[in-house]
Amino acid sequence: MSGRRPHHPHRLYRASRTPLPQVLPRSFTAAAVAATVLLLTATGCSSGSSSPSSARSHHGSAERTGDAVTEATAASPFWVDPASDAARQVEQWEKEGRKDDAKALKRISERAVAEWPAWDDPEPDISRAVRGAAAGRRTVVFVAYNIPHRDCGLYSAGGAHDAQAYREWINAFAGAIGDAPAIVILEPDAVPHLADGCTPAEHHDERYELLSQAIARLKKQPGTRVYLDAGNPDWISDPAKLAEPLRRAGVKTADGFSLNVSNFQTNNAAKSYGTQLSGLLGDAHFTIDTSRNGQGPLPGDRDEAWCNPPGRALGTPPTTNTGNELVDAFLWIKRPGESDGPCRGGPAAGKWWPDYALGLARKTKG
């Protein structure tokens, strides 16, 4: 199957806690699809729609707010969740005497990662993050990922029930942000799937309309910047094929586009690709997901490179100091340490995997 990409950092469904199945990679073969279906069946994963939740049960009612005041966050304008999986793992390992492992994992716990609000009701997750960020006057990074007919009906199938439901969800999403400073990465995959033909043609016009309306609604919030997702350099190799779909989706009324969400492409590859695409869009600015690209993609078979690839490393920490006038920020959109799926000994997609997180941290230089 062409045009696929690695798993997004999905969370667990608020009510059923059913893990969301992984997104398949680009160039996924029919044989690999069949094998993955068997694997998912064996491990009890559902291929239906579910909803992530950053307000997991361990947060409870005793909400922790504010910033992790560390050297790592001092140079970053973005909010660090003090109750993240990584932060709790550090605390646990310190209690167990695993001091070296805890120290290494702080490379994740002390840095800002994106929040992926729930698909049933985004308001609680967003409000929690906004309140937490207010104390330190930080910016929260959110991902809106609920477009109807999401993922072409494959393993992250679902999204809002229909166009009106999506409009209501985006309205609630934007309203919960209020006047707070925020960045929204809008609908990973949605435009690239229009460009590569994966999304059925009968849904194209509706998707373009919904994306344009979503940008307009989010931009009504005075402190919100919006970046429309544009895939990665290893997906649609010719950026010219994305230019018109991005224009139709309203990128000119957004603050730009996003690249490399959940992928492993290097900064240089993303910047080169983004610069080409920017030139086709009137010098539009862009962001790059650097959460796991410190070693670039796994060499060799791309069908093996998308799901919990070994030997990867954290990339450039989140910052607006990119050294490139077109690149507004390096962001950690994929949440490092959350599994891509039940491959290479990993847990279900979206579940915290401390061993993999530690591997990312230990491979990271500096």
- Residues with catalytic annotation? 151, 189, 340
- Mapped onto helix, strand or coil, the DSSP state of residue 119 is coil
Nearest to 309 by CA among 320, 297, 324: 297
CA distances from 258 to 40, 78, 106, 202, 251 (A): 30, 17, 26, 26, 11
Nearest to 257 by CA among 223, 237, 280: 280
CA-based Rg of the chain, rounded to a whole angstrom? 19
Q: Identify the burial level of 203 via C-beta atoms within 10 angstroms of its C-beta, where 0-12 means exposed, 13-18 middle and 19 or more buried.
A: middle
What's the CA gap between 350 and 326, in Å, rounded? 31
The token duo for 358 is: 């530690």
The residues that bridge with 178 in the sheet, in sequence order, are: none
The residues that bridge with 142 in the sheet, in sequence order, are: 115, 184
What's the CA gap between 228 and 212, in Å, rounded? 10
User: Phi and psi for 184 in degrees, rounded to 5?
Assistant: -120, 120
- Mapped onto helix, strand or coil, the DSSP state of residue 331 is strand
Nearest to 308 by CA among 268, 350, 266: 350
The token duo for 270 is: 């993303």
What's the CA gap between 56 and 15, in Å, rounded? 10
CA distances from 276 to 239, 243, 283, 311 (A): 7, 10, 9, 30
